[in-house]
Every structure is written in structure tokens, then in C-alpha cells.
Structure 1
Amino acid sequence: MSACNVCQTNQAACINSTSFYLCFGDAMPHTDHVYTCLDGFECTDRTAICLQKNAQRPPSCGDTSKCGLCSAHRNYKFACHSKRTFQMCYGAARPVGPLGTCPENTVCDATSDLVCVTPITGQPLTCDINDDLVITSSTSTTSSTSTTSTTSTTPKPTDGPPQTAQQVCAQKTKSGLYETVPRDPYCKRYISCHITAKKITAREYGCTASSFFDAERQSCTTVAPLECTVLF
């Protein structure tokens, strides 16, 4: 299995088992648009990028669709941010507070109330992403001066009761990328809306570990917007 968020020889960077960014010949993926394989297909390092699921050929990137989601745990107790990092949810829709790290030789498992468990060979991980890809700091630029942000891990308040991706898109008048409701205080999650006269397609995605969702630009950027809380 290849690493997630890395440009492969086929010019795609898989961000989970079914979604990817394109690289266009660059060393880093372009994160302004998420591409998704058709149902029954998964992201690979082959020329076609998306190939039918095959038990003998794992996808290029492990499943990251549940990364950072409180809903991955049946009681919304915690959210896994990587193989060994997690954050508590306390029954809320979004994780809050400081980032925790599982003890050595254990992994974060949203199917267990223990949070961290001994890994079992062949068992899929809740968030199959390396720990070093979890954001620990952010560099923001103001005018010509660069400064390093060490923002508190306490998330800023968000407005409105929780809405599904479909509910968010139903309120929009055109296709685009929009903030979740409530807004993700860490600026990682966002809603992709594809709107036509006959159908609204809504999906929730997450920016890569090194980027943040900028609602004004409707894209993932490497500089965190001012309202973001950055884990450190």
C-alpha cells in the first residue's frame, strides 16, 4: 500500500480508498478539487487510477473516510485523527480539546470503547493515515512577513444545529464547496455540492493533513484561515 496524499506515477494522489487529487506533473497534489471513483471502484497507482475493487490488490491509500469523525464511534465518544492520534467528542458532532496519542503498539479504534487497542493483522483501521500527517502547526503569511501560529487547541464556537451534507446543499443555488454546519473549527471538513435542475449530489470531504478549507476561495489551501483552530 502506498502513502496517502502522495503523487504517484499516474499523476494522482489518493486521499482515501476511493477519492484522489490530481498532480498535473507537480511534486505536490493540487487540492482545489476532489475526484471520486465510481461505485465499486477504488483509487490505485495504476494508469487508469480507478479500478474495480480486488481483494488481491489493496487500494493505494487506506480508508480515511472516518478520520476526525465523531460519528465513527457508536456513542460519539471520540474521533480518530490517524493510526494512533485521537480527540474526544463527549457526545458532540465534532471533536474538541487537545489531541491524544495512543500508547506504543496500540491503534485508535472507533469500534471499541477503549479508544486504543492492540492491532489485529488484517483488521482495517478506523483512520488509516500516518501519525506524522496530523497537523501540529501552521504558518500564515501577513503582508511580506511570515509568522508561525501556535493557536490554542480549544475550538472556536460554530453556529447552527448540525446539518447533513444534503441539507447544506439543498440551501445553495449553485455547485461548489461549502463549510459544514456547524463549521469545522479546524477547517478540515467541507461539503461538495453538485446541483442540477433534477438532482443535488452532496458529499462531505476532508482536506489533506497539510491543508485547510478556505470557504471564501472554496478550496483547500496550505495557509489556515484566521478563524481556524490549529492542533499542536
Structure 2
Amino acid sequence: MWLKALVLLLSIRYLAATCNVCQSDSNVACHSETTFSICYDGVPSYDLLPCPKDFYCTDGFYTCYQNANPVCKTEEDTSTTEIQTTSTTTPSPITTTTTKNPTTTATPITTTTTEITTTEAPWNADDICQQYTKNTFFENEDDPTCTTFITCTVDSDGTHSTKVTSCKANQYFSTSLKVCTATKPDGCVETTTT
């Protein structure tokens, strides 16, 4: 007599299909419940960034939301396997065979990011003037007294020239108004005469 009596339940942990997929709203890909990376041309960079504590990676505009349902989460998949066994009435010993299926686990990927320190180039009035397409005035960063400014002239042929221009006596260059005024801006030092 054939018996169908043994059913095994196997629980395997796996990552959801939305892990490592670029989200359209935020242009990032969630790699776990709390890590993500920026996408370039629809491809995750895998430079992992963490969400703040108690925040989870979602498909929302701001990516990480507090107490939210994560996009990339660990879930359980329950599958059933049916095993047929036989039983006879002969006095021979009963043999039971148990098959164990291997379990798999996901190993997290660890990425180390090294911050590179860059040195800012020194201030240069000629370089700043080259960025303009018409005549303008801007702050002379080499003058702590704020009594001079840079005049940037752009000729009709596109030639740029700079010169240091002085304000009238007791006047200071205003970076917001781009003219000399009687009001001394914060951070400017007094002029000294010798």
C-alpha cells in the first residue's frame, strides 16, 4: 500500500526582486533595508550609502523614510516538497530516509569609501573675469579693506581685461550692489595711513 504522508516545509531566506534596482522617483537603488547607492544611466553605482538610524530605503522621492516599509527586504519563501514513502506487511525492518535540502544565506557586500582632500586653487581675478560675457564689477579678494574692486571688461571681439579700481574716499565696495557705498561691509578692516 502506497502512502503519501510526509510533507516537508522548507524556509529559505532571499532578497526581494526589487533589491539593486534603480527607482524612478529618486534615481537610487536600495541594496538592503537600510543601504542604497546612486544610479547613473539606470545602473546602480554600488557606492553604498546608509539611511539614518530607524530609517528605511524606499522607492519614495527622499529614499530614506522613518518606520517605512523597505523596498529591499528580507522575506521568507515557503515551498513544499512531497516525498513518497512505501510500507509493506513483511516482517523486514522498516527503513526511513530523510533528505535534507541545503540552506542558502546572502552575504552582505562591504564597500569602503576613501575621501580625497582637494586643495582649492588660489583666487585669480583674470580667471574670474574669463567666466563673464559682458562688463561687470566684482570683489577684490586681495583687499581686506574693501576700498577697491575689480573691473572686468569684455570687448566686442571677446577679449577680457581686468583692472583694480579704487572707491572714492570713505566708501567701500558692496558685493551685493556691485557699487561703492558709504556703508562698510562686515568683515572689512579699517584702512591705515602712514
TM class by shorter chain equals 0.3 to 0.5
Richer in strand (by share):
2
TM-score (norm 2): 0.33
Higher relative contact order (CA 8 A, sep 6+): 2
TM-score (norm 1): 0.28
Larger Rg: 2
